[in-house]
Amino acid sequence: MSYRIAVVGDQDTVTGLALAGATYTHIHTTNEETFAKLNEFFDSEEIGVLLITHRVAEELGYDFRRMVRTKRLLPLVLRIPDKTGYVSKVDELREIIRRTVGAEIMIKKEGS
């Protein structure tokens, strides 16, 4: 099956990724609007990958995290940094590892 790309974020991220060919975009202004749009994206059969900036994801908070946890296999959700390179301090994946493995795991490059 082929799917399309959706982007949620600030003006610059959305503009850039739209130039690259992302089909669905939403510029975040208020949480309510973004949630409405996200629900639409999550229900859509067409969207395979959803990119969302860390800043917006953080602003949406718990409700968004629950949405991601309870979604189906698709769309794949990926948090990306915005123009300023902002990345959330809490790394979802690392959180989960800590819960499952019960230890912090750091992967270092070989040789360093």
Partner 1 sequence: MAIALAVSPTRMELLKLKQRVGLAQKGHDLLKEKMDALVIEFFEVLRRIQEARMKAFDQLSVAHRALSMGFAVVGTLETKQASKETKRELQVEISTRHIMGIAVPAVEVGEVERSALVRGYGLHMTSSVLDEASREFERALKLLIELAELEASAFAIVRELEKTKRRVNALEYILIPRLREALKFIMMRLDEMERENFTRLKRIKAMMEKRE
Residue number with CB closer to partner 1 (19 or 62): 19
Q: CB neighbours of 42 closer than 8 A, spacing ≥ 6?
A: 50, 67, 71, 75
Q: Which of 76, 15, 6, 82 is nearest to 40 (CA)?
A: 6
Return the residue of 45, 62, 70, 85 that touches partner 1, per CB under 8 A: 85
**Residues 8, 9, 22, 41: which binds partner 1 (CB under 8 A)?**
22
Query: Residue 56 interacts with partner 1 (CB under 8 A)?
Result: no
User: 13: part of which helix (H) or strand (E)?
Assistant: helix 11-20
Contact present, 50 and 78 (Cβ < 8 Å): yes
Name residue 78's beta-bridge partners.
51
# residues near partner 1 by CB under 8 A: 40
For partner 1, which stretch binds (CB under 8 A), given 33-41, 47-55, 56-64? Answer: 47-55
Residues in contact with partner 1 by the rule CB under 8 A: 1-5, 11-23, 25, 48-49, 51, 73-74, 76-78, 80-81, 83, 85, 87, 93, 96-97, 99-100, 105, 107, 109
